[in-house]
């Protein structure tokens, strides 16, 4: 009798666990976001990297980077939900700003609500002013150069 009761209870627990798991798993729905990356003067920034940050659960992309085309334009296929966008182009003096603890003047990080099956057009991601950087030369105590360096 005890073995039978234990088997029934165990069966119910397994059924409940698997039933719960199937209810939690949801199909991820996708939408599109189209726009352009611009510099501080409002000119398109060709080849900039656009980064999307999303908290959509079940999506394979929580943080993804995309390359803008030669006109600074981008088209992103993103999961449904709230998405935050940023852009950078290190070679042009616009660094990746996710870890910065300050905003560069003019910088804009738009937040978009991605809707399934819809395209949000005309999004502008502004990188702001160029970042300052240092050029320096490292020398030893005898004044012999060890090469130059760049710090962004």
pLDDT of residue 60: 47
Q: Using CA atoms, how far apart are residues 31 and 82, in angstroms rounded to an integer?
A: 11
Please check the confidence at residue 59 and state whether its pLDDT lies above 70. no
> Which of 45, 120, 116 lies closest to 76, judged by CA?
120
Share of the chain above pLDDT 70, in %: 63
Please check the confidence at residue 43 and state whether its pLDDT lies above 50. yes
**Which CATH class for the 30-126 domain?**
mainly beta
Q: Using CA atoms, how far apart are residues 129 and 132, in angstroms rounded to an integer?
A: 9
pLDDT of residue 21: 46
Share of the chain above pLDDT 90, in %: 37
pLDDT digits (tens, 9 = 90+) for 13-24: 545 555 544 455
The pLDDT confidence band at residue 93, using thresholds 50, 70 and 90, is confident
Please check the confidence at residue 81 and state whether its pLDDT lies above 60. yes
Please check the confidence at residue 99 and state whether its pLDDT lies above 50. yes
Please check the confidence at residue 48 and state whether its pLDDT lies above 80. yes
Please check the confidence at residue 42 and state whether its pLDDT lies above 70. yes
Please check the confidence at residue 142 and state whether its pLDDT lies above 70. yes
pLDDT of residue 136: 67
pTM over 0.85: no
**In the chain, where the domains are located:** 30-126
If phi > 0 it is left, if psi is from -120 to 50 it is alpha, else beta; for residue 71 that is alpha
Phi, psi of 103 (to 5 degrees): -100, 135
Strands 81-88 and 111-114: antiparallel
pLDDT of residue 22: 47
Q: Using CA atoms, how far apart are residues 146 and 152, in angstroms rounded to an integer?
A: 19
């Amino acid at each position: 009798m005890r073995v039978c009761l234990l088997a029934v209870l165990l069966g119910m627990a397994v059924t409940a666990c698997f039933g719960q798991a199937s209810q939690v798993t949801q199909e991820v729905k996708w939408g599109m976001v189209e726009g352009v990356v611009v510099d501080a003067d409002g000119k398109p920034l060709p080849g900039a990297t656009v980064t999307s940050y999303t908290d959509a659960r079940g999506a394979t992309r929580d943080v993804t980077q995309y390359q803008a085309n030669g006109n600074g334009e981008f088209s992103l296929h993103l999961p449904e939900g709230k998405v935050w966008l940023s852009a950078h182009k290190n070679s042009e003096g616009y660094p990746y700003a996710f870890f910065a603890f300050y905003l560069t003047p003019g910088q804009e990080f738009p937040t978009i609500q991605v809707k399934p099956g819809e395209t949000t057009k005309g999004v502008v991601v502004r990188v702001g002013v160029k970042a300052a950087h240092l050029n320096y030369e490292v020398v030893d105590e005898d004044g012999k150069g060890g090469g130059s360096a760049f710090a962004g």
